[in-house]
Structure 1
Amino acid sequence: HQHDFSVRGGGEKTRYNMSMGFFDEEGTTIGNNLKKLNLRSSLDYDLSRKLQFKTDIMFTRYDQDNTYDVEDYEFGSWKSLRSVAYRKMPNLSIYDRDTSNIHYGEYFTPLTTLQGSARDAYNPVAFANLGSQKRFKDNARALFSVRYFITPRLIFNSTVTLDIFDNKISKFLPYKAIGYYYSSDITNHAVNEFSKKSSIYTFNQLIYRPEIGRNHELVFLGQFDTEETQSRWYKTESSQSASPYLTQPVNDVHLTWFGSSFSKYRALGFFATGSYIYKDKYSLMVGAKYEGNSKFSKESRWGLFPTFSVFWRLSEEPGLKNLAFIDDLKLRFSWGQSGNSPAQNYLYFNTYEAGTSISYMDMQGVRPTGIELTSLQWETIDQINPGISFYGLKGRLNIEIDYYRKKTLNLYLQNSGIPEQTGFSSINRNDGEMENRGFEFLIDYTVVRKQDFQFNFNINVSRNENQVLRLPENYSLEYGNMLENGNYKISIVPGEPLGGFFGYQYAGVYLSDDDAIVRDENGDPVYGLNIDSPLTMIMGGPSGYVFVGGDAKYVDRNHDGKIDELDLVYLGDLNPDFMGGAGFRVQYRNIILNTFLFFKVGQKIINQTRMDTEKMYNYDNQSLATNWRWRREGDTTDIPRALFNDGYNWLGSDRFVEDGSYLRLKTISLSYLINPNLLQKLRIKEMRIYATGYNLFTWTNYSGQDPDVAPPSRPDVLPKDYSKTPPSIRLMFGANITF
């Protein structure tokens, strides 16, 4: 449920606005809940005609309960709770039972099963109900600004903003959740993690508009801004506490890990622009920003980034000015550069690490973790942006079309290989280029605009393509052993988009042993030294697995009789071909209907859960699709045979890559404005009641739980879906009352 309350008012000199909101939602997975509190207060005060003050204070608190979020080192591939629920053997009970086959409230968590140890194949219901993870997050922002009119044409603006982020995570996994050895480092495992980030931003601006004539306008702007950010973090982990009620790592337990960090950086910027406008028809703006950041060494700390833009208002030209259907038509073009700094601090220092896990001659030691990088430079983004804006039909039609091209120069590369004689295997460096290009299209059209009835329709569509243009010769990003089941290959090479992946082409199932033969490009059998029988398809090298009837069939692209990396093809990436939104607004007298739909088209998703539940390779639970598997020669199916711990029936191929296109009804809202005459006795100016639905419908051909899979945060991570928790369907009823 959600509750919102706001008050606003004021007079000629003072205006205020206060609001409060509370949100409480139960998630679609056991143990997932979110509570959120929002507070905001703003005050505008005009001390005089020349001097104005403004304050804006916001506070948000998140109280979030989640199921225990496992780390890679704890459970490996069994880290997604919903994926585990799919894969868990169906003949294993949720609850333990006595000799009378009656469960007595304890979860069934055996030390080992056919699927592996309790650490590798836990009871997902026990894990969800007993494991816990609580997150408390506070965000506070205070903004103070002043505007002073030195003269009517010379204005000074100054703003100071303070941001504070506090984050606390407490995790606990009791032994009853997994039934593992008490001496294990994940038994009664407790984690406390704290992080705090505070930032101070200052913004000082001077705007001057000299008077130079009726048809001419000049605007000069000078700006100086600063940022100072510091972050603190520490984390403590423990295990083997004496009781599942001792959930804090500060108790007298086995301390398994602890660490802390502190970082700080500063940034300064000087920005100046000059704009000239002639008859509000032609405009030219030129400017530059001189920016410094403490993340760089003194030699590379400062960067200069120029910019300019122009526009031409065609609707003011004689040939178009008198056309009734054109309200405003403008062509726009801009070019500019901006700079990116590294995400890490202190890269231009030699850095070291100390800890209990680092030892030398049985003593705690110190080891180097980073090499001095004084030559790192700004990553520069060079961008052009032409566009067109059209307003017409007396304000009923608005069309915006924009094209952009972003070229990233001095690409910031991590883990670039260097000779290991230096003591390090890789460093961070500037080298390479990447390009993003695309367009954005918006149309907003009021089809009908009458006194008692209005109908408005809007749609926006965008497309983005990225491409790696250049990488250094010794920089290689390739991941994935394609001679093993379940893997896809990531290869970041010039000419290909970032986030793409490669795999085999799935061609169905060999219907019989005679079908698993080598064929040339014409489809004819290929014979070896023994001309009596054709060659048989194999996996990898000469001594590799020999394919037989019932095995998965993959396209042998080079017709050499082997399925290997020479047969890989580009399968796609998670970047959609198109994405956008659409909606309409219908108003009939006092009734208003609003809708908003969101869509993505063309994104590719690796359905990892489908792979896990169709591979028939181990003791994992399998989906209903395996009922149509190949069983005997002559069976016609696209599901290969069951083959325990052998074969190559689930290689990374397009079999498990699905189209993630979808259309989702994000919001639909119906509201009614009550007749003001009925509210006069209650001294209510306006009252609107409404009902709103969120995420009510999703149309998609994707077979997973939710097609809205977020893109990976790193280029070496595949876009896999481990049964992502779908968004919850919400209904909200409320009223807006104005006194």
Structure 2
Amino acid sequence: MNYLRDGDRFSKLFGSFKFFISSAFVRMMIAVLFFLLATTKTYAQKISLSEKKASLESIFQLIEQQTPYRFVFNTIILEKGKPVAIKIKNAEIGEVLDLVFRNQPLSYTIVKQNIILKEKEISEQELTVINGLVTDEKGIGYPGARISIKSKNINTLTDQEGKYKLVLTDVRDQILSIEALGYQKQELVIQDDFNIDVQLKPDLKILEEIIIVGYGEVNKRDLTGSVGEVNMKDLAKAPVKSFDDAFAGRIAGVQVTSPDGQPGAVPTIIVRGGNSVTQDNSPLYVIDGFPIEDYNINAIHPDDISSIEVLKDASSTAIYGARGANGVVIVSTKKGIKGKSVFSFNNYYGLQGNTSQIELMQPFEFVKYQLELDSARAASIYLQDGKTLESYRDEKGINWQDELFREAPMLSSYFAVRGGNKDNNYAFSSSVFDQKGTVIASGFKRYQARLVIEQALTKRFKVGVNANMSGLKSYGTIFTGSRNTFFNILINTWQYRPIAGNFSLDELLSNAQDPAVASATNYQWNPVLTATNELRDRVNSLLTSNVYGIYDISKSLKLRITAGLNLSKLRNDEFNNSKTRQGNTSSSLGQRGVNGSITFTELSNLINENTLTYQKSIDKKHFFTVLSGFTIQENKFAYYGSGAIRIPNEALGLGGLAQGVPVVIQPQNSENRLLSFLSRLNYNYKSKYLFTATLRADGSSKFTGNNQWGYFPSGSFAWNVAQEKFMQGAHFLSETKLRLSYGLTGNNRISEYAYYGAINQGGNNSYMPGGTFISGAFVSNLSNPDLKWESTAELDFGLDIGFLNQRFTLTADIYKKKTNDLLLNAQLPTSSGFSNVFQNIGAVENKGLELTLQSFNIRNDKVKWSTSFNISFNRTKLVGLAQNQKELLSTVRWNSGNDYAQNPAYIASIGRPVAMFYGFIWDGVYQFEDFDRTATGTYVLKADIPNNGNPRQNIQPGDIKYKDINDDKVVDMQDRTEIGNPNPKFYGGLANNLSFRNFDVHVFLQFVYGNEVMNVNRYLMEGGTTTLGANQFASYQNRWTPENPSNQYFRTRGWGPSVYSSRVIEDGSFIRLKTINLGYKVENKLLQRLAIANLRVYVAAQNLITLTKYSGNDPEVSVFDSALTPGLDYSAYPRAKVVTLGLDISF
């Protein structure tokens, strides 16, 4: 209200109506006199109150009981009122009301016997300034700290000097909140002092994060080695069957690749590049302290995992000695908790679909191509009943990819209960995972249960048991690996006829072969019948368990004894009925007829570990931890089974094996033992100077003689520079640690009897003197008792930096490791009678750089946003082979013929990466100008134009052309060279976590750059076959013709010799939206009454978007995934994109 303007109007009225005003004034004075007389008695009444933290409404009731006054108000404004503490006796109403409303956001007006309430305006309230200085633990002003009043929407940030200022009303008894990233949150009650200075206290939960290492744990700030961690909260937000599926891109230096997207497939994990050329490069898995080689990590449900650490440098892995060279993945599962039992449920349902489909020729282009291949025969098939090529121009083709693929459901259900008290704790969980494959009749199932119990028997002695049982079943046609041959189902899907012709779709679906071109040598087998009639079941039963006892001999000395058992039994069922190429008598494999087999692979692993741990501190400055112990481990392997061909009654399935012709499946058995002694010393001086020394001795039955024992030492040093006095001025640095480590580790991943010679019996070694058959025998390879470990020496330099009390952190590692004594076959002179012998020869070098950056961008009561980024660079180089040997050539068999199998696809040369694609450099297509035309009209290749490997007189315009490397005008084996690199230049990931109130979002991007893929699908699907009736990729429509002299795709039948070339080498770089998860945490009073502690609903997606130049289904592919043969794509199972809806609840 503008009081000045109202006053001016009153003056004018007064001047115009003086008489009226005078009369009115008299009347008013009389009325006031009567009013005062009437209320004298009322005001004379006294009020007494004595209340503590009473509500305004209760105060009003007490006043109304003692006086005739009545309160008039809107109930809404009372919500802003504060409790009242008052003690007064025999007071007037005015005095009482002043005390009641002194610190209230309300004011009152008395009109007759009514007390009218209203909300105070800002101008009516007392404004108070709160200010002060916020400093860090060193007393230096801290910028960016958040200052807020807890009960009000009032907040600010400290300036560059750490100062702040707040202006508000009703300041007394309010709670001042101070928050800064990396420091403890502080809350202070405002009293009479409005100048409030605060010194921040470091948050030890951030600074003292515990890292699990081999046979122990260490504070992260005291870590001297290189250890990668997985953010389990992020990992839990990926809708996957096992943690390895979400592992890719999460940890610097850890490369995770999948052969393809087949359900149940186990990805390959490589830590800091492959060390071995011919042996396994997989890391050692340690599951709750149990070291296991080749562990099937599908056996563990991701929700059972509490932490995953990857030991990367030799200082960290040397405690595992002969098995530590490839890195160590330590998986710790969730244990019981003290307090009442907590029940947890996590369930989600998802749908999967293919990320892409390959574009194929439509009917017109298909028939046109068939006529070019074999005009007479193609016309008899496709140009019947008066049809012409033009008849197919607008015909819609059959997309067999739609028939083979489907939208597939995925279901996961998880239950857990955890609890305990001061003497014991327990945890039990069970889960069911059911994933239907996007290819019909394929999928993966898991049934799993876990039990953890720990019991304190005395104050010093406790025992525990940890057991995980799981049943895994993968089913459906196998896409990759050694069984991936020319009749692969995906190749059949692409090549199968896109036109119905005189057949209905149902007729085509019911025929095992394309009825138009069926023959014993034709590979056009119905992909739908193949998928639904090939039985391929892999059932794996697993048990991993250990029992342990921990005895505190003294406060400083602890004894731990562990006994563990790991069992795995894999049953592999295969059956091919008459509707499959492998079981149909009309196929080229017809002599086998209906056939099947049942095989079993059994693995057992027994271990006993005994360790003593001694911890001692001197003057609270010097801290020592000494570990010593020994372990005994035994591994057994058995393989056996039965099979049969020409089974007469296919309706019996595998039950009819006994009726067929038996097939001998040679049983195999082996076992090995490992005896180890280990020790480790950790020294810590005030967390400033840190030192670790490790020594492990391993004795293995895989070796013999003087090489049966291996010794693996390591040492590391760390200097926390930020603790030095000269760094005290750098208050923005919360951590600056330099790390240096060096160590020796081994790789014993060879077969149990590799040092033995082998004797072959039977077969061509038999003879018949006098008509009597005698089986002969011969030595097939020489023994080598001097075989020993592959050993890896590694140097690592690391830097850990934290800014603004760990608001931003950077971890950087530079490493170089060299693996010596590679286990390879060395060539022998022919005079020896042997071609080669297994020896320790050659060396491989890996060096690289790893960077991990983490930041807490925003962190307050309402919004939290954090980012994690990592990137890795690794270069692998072959630095040695056998004497006078400069290279290794590797072949792969991906089709049923020998055309490509007899030519090497990979080369490993000294001084170059271990695996490089090998072949000819594609040089386009021969054009008319490359030929002379004779008088008869034929074309003859010009003398200065090199051939393509075929005889010159056979080469025609439109044929494929290769580069003549040595310029001798002849393309031959001497012109083969490196044509591509399957190894990435760098890889990594970017994760963002954002939460606002009850909403949370997780987004994770994975990227790989610089790797190449050999897409051999294009050899068969871009004009590389003479098989009539085989469809081709749509890209081949642009093939060379006289009217379309393409330089990209050769003419029909113009492929040249079946050799590898750079034509099919493609860029495999990609950026993938790997995971996105949007969740909402439900909170209301009903949930509290139901004792539900947490209820979160979420929507998640996996592999939603992939950006790549690769023309195949997916750039992340390697169907022959080994150190010497990576990055090849042949009919790989397409990777699925997944969208899920889930519910996570606990109470």
Deviation of 1:34 (Å)? 1.0
Deviation per residue, 1:84-116 (Å, 9 max, x gap): 2223454588xx96xx99739732437994786
Q: Identify if the C-alpha distance between structure 1 residues 319 and 516 changes in structure 2 by more than 3 Å, giving closer, same or farther.
A: farther
Deviation of 1:561 (Å)? 1.9
Partner letter of residue 915 of structure 2? G
Aligned counterpart for 1:515 among listed residues 906, 930, 935:
930
Aligned counterpart for 1:106 among listed residues 485, 510, 520:
510
Q: Identify if the C-alpha distance between structure 1 residues 165 and 222 changes in structure 2 by more than 3 Å, giving closer, same or farther.
A: same
Structure 2: how far apart are the matches of 1:217 and 1:559?
70
Contact 1:591 1:670 in 2 (8 A): yes
Q: Identify if the C-alpha distance between structure 1 residues 156 and 234 changes in structure 2 by more than 3 Å, giving closer, same or farther.
A: same
Contact 2:481 2:1119 in 1 (8 A): no
The DSSP-based 3-state class of the residue aligned with 1:210 is strand
Q: Does structure 1 residue 260 correspond to structure 2 residue 671?
A: no
Structure 2: how far apart are the matches of 1:670 and 1:70?
34
Q: Does structure 1 residue 612 correspond to structure 2 residue 1020?
A: yes
Aligned counterpart for 1:371 among listed residues 762, 782, 785:
782
Contact 2:461 2:552 in 1 (8 A): yes
**Comparing 487-496 and 100-109, the one that deviates more:** 100-109
Structure 2: how far apart are the matches of 1:261 and 1:387?
46
Aligned counterpart for 1:384 among listed residues 775, 781, 795:
795
Q: Identify if the C-alpha distance between structure 1 residues 502 and 338 changes in structure 2 by more than 3 Å, giving closer, same or farther.
A: same
Structure 1 partner of 2:546? 143
Structure 1: how far apart are the matches of 2:899 and 2:697?
52
Structure 2 partner of 1:42? 452
Q: Does structure 1 residue 319 correspond to structure 2 residue 726?
A: yes
Aligned counterpart for 2:585 among listed residues 180, 190, 202:
180
Deviation of 1:647 (Å)? 5.3
Higher strand share: 1
Contact 1:573 1:603 in 2 (8 A): yes
**Comparing 304-313 and 613-622, the one that deviates more:** 613-622
Structure 1: how far apart are the matches of 2:762 and 2:1088?
72
Deviation of 1:709 (Å)? 0.9
Q: Does structure 1 residue 134 correspond to structure 2 residue 549?
A: no
Structure 2: how far apart are the matches of 1:208 and 1:370?
50
Deviation of 1:181 (Å)? 4.1
Deviation of 1:232 (Å)? 0.7
Deviation per residue, 1:691-716 (Å, 9 max, x gap): 22222222211110111113744455
Structure 2 partner of 1:526? none
Structure 2 partner of 1:456? 866
Q: Does structure 1 residue 399 correspond to structure 2 residue 805?
A: no
The DSSP-based 3-state class of the residue aligned with 1:652 is coil
Structure 1: how far apart are the matches of 2:477 and 2:765?
32
Q: Identify if the C-alpha distance between structure 1 residues 292 and 92 changes in structure 2 by more than 3 Å, giving closer, same or farther.
A: farther
**Comparing 687-696 and 579-588, the one that deviates more:** 687-696
Structure 2: how far apart are the matches of 1:533 and 1:366?
56
Kindly report which structure 2 residues correspond to 1:496-535, keeping only aligned pairs within 5 A, or say none: 496-512=912-928, 514-515=929-930, 535=944
Structure 1 partner of 2:1115? 707
Deviation per residue, 1:467-501 (Å, 9 max, x gap): 110111355632569x9779554222211111212
Structure 2 partner of 1:192? 598
Aligned counterpart for 1:170 among listed residues 555, 569, 573:
573
Structure 2 partner of 1:689? 1097
Deviation per residue, 1:650-669 (Å, 9 max, x gap): 74222210011112222211
Q: Identify if the C-alpha distance between structure 1 residues 45 and 664 changes in structure 2 by more than 3 Å, giving closer, same or farther.
A: same
Partner letter of residue 538 of structure 1? N
**Comparing 448-457 and 471-480, the one that deviates more:** 471-480
Deviation of 1:676 (Å)? 4.8
Structure 1 partner of 2:948? 539
Structure 1 partner of 2:62? none
Q: Does structure 1 residue 290 correspond to structure 2 residue 290?
A: no
Structure 1: how far apart are the matches of 2:759 and 2:565?
32
Partner letter of residue 28 of structure 1? T
Contact 1:687 1:737 in 2 (8 A): yes
TM-score w.r.t. structure 2 length? 0.59
Deviation per residue, 1:577-627 (Å, 9 max, x gap): 111121111100111111222221111111111221113541232222222
Q: Identify if the C-alpha distance between structure 1 residues 497 and 79 changes in structure 2 by more than 3 Å, giving closer, same or farther.
A: farther
Deviation per residue, 1:538-571 (Å, 9 max, x gap): 2349x54564432223333333322233433322
Q: Does structure 1 residue 161 correspond to structure 2 residue 564?
A: yes
Q: Identify if the C-alpha distance between structure 1 residues 500 and 116 changes in structure 2 by more than 3 Å, giving closer, same or farther.
A: farther
Deviation per residue, 1:303-346 (Å, 9 max, x gap): 11111000000110122234332222211111110122242112
Q: Identify if the C-alpha distance between structure 1 residues 588 and 654 changes in structure 2 by more than 3 Å, giving closer, same or farther.
A: same
**Comparing 594-603 and 348-357, the one that deviates more:** 348-357
Q: Identify if the C-alpha distance between structure 1 residues 450 and 115 changes in structure 2 by more than 3 Å, giving closer, same or farther.
A: farther
Partner letter of residue 641 of structure 2? K
Contact 1:574 1:711 in 2 (8 A): no
**Comparing 591-600 and 649-658, the one that deviates more:** 649-658
Structure 2: how far apart are the matches of 1:503 and 1:590?
57
Aligned counterpart for 1:441 among listed residues 838, 848, 851:
851
Structure 2 partner of 1:581? 989
Q: Identify if the C-alpha distance between structure 1 residues 191 and 333 changes in structure 2 by more than 3 Å, giving closer, same or farther.
A: same
Partner letter of residue 569 of structure 1? T
Q: Does structure 1 residue 83 correspond to structure 2 residue 491?
A: yes
Structure 2: how far apart are the matches of 1:181 and 1:357?
30
Q: Does structure 1 residue 418 correspond to structure 2 residue 828?
A: yes
Partner letter of residue 279 of structure 1? K
Partner letter of residue 137 of structure 1? N
The DSSP-based 3-state class of the residue aligned with 1:492 is strand
Structure 1: how far apart are the matches of 2:717 and 2:481?
51
Structure 2 partner of 1:490? 906
- RMSD after superposition: 3.0
Q: Which has the higher contact order (CA 8 A, sep 6+)?
A: 2
**Comparing 306-315 and 599-608, the one that deviates more:** 599-608
Structure 2 partner of 1:520? none
Partner letter of residue 232 of structure 1? A
Aligned counterpart for 2:1045 among listed residues 617, 622, 635:
635
Long gaps (5+) in structure 2: 1-410, 893-897, 933-940
Structure 2: how far apart are the matches of 1:37 and 1:11?
30
Q: Identify if the C-alpha distance between structure 1 residues 684 and 655 changes in structure 2 by more than 3 Å, giving closer, same or farther.
A: same
Contact 1:10 1:16 in 2 (8 A): yes
Structure 2: how far apart are the matches of 1:225 and 1:195?
26
Contact 2:716 2:742 in 1 (8 A): yes
Structure 2: how far apart are the matches of 1:533 and 1:491?
32
**Comparing 308-317 and 229-238, the one that deviates more:** 229-238
Q: Identify if the C-alpha distance between structure 1 residues 212 and 355 changes in structure 2 by more than 3 Å, giving closer, same or farther.
A: farther
Structure 1: how far apart are the matches of 2:481 and 2:803?
56
The DSSP-based 3-state class of the residue aligned with 2:1114 is coil
Structure 2: how far apart are the matches of 1:177 and 1:594?
45
Structure 2 partner of 1:229? 635
**Comparing 358-367 and 32-41, the one that deviates more:** 358-367
> How many corresponding residue pairs?
712
The DSSP-based 3-state class of the residue aligned with 2:1018 is helix
Partner letter of residue 706 of structure 2? E
Structure 2 partner of 1:663? 1071
Identity %: 26
Q: Does structure 1 residue 473 correspond to structure 2 residue 879?
A: no
The DSSP-based 3-state class of the residue aligned with 1:117 is coil
Deviation of 1:7 (Å)? 0.9
Long gaps (5+) in structure 1: 518-531
Higher helix share: 2
Structure 1 partner of 2:644? 238
Q: Identify if the C-alpha distance between structure 1 residues 446 and 430 changes in structure 2 by more than 3 Å, giving closer, same or farther.
A: same
Deviation of 1:66 (Å)? 1.2
Structure 1: how far apart are the matches of 2:1134 and 2:578?
29
The DSSP-based 3-state class of the residue aligned with 1:615 is coil
Structure 2 partner of 1:61? 471
Deviation of 1:6 (Å)? 1.0
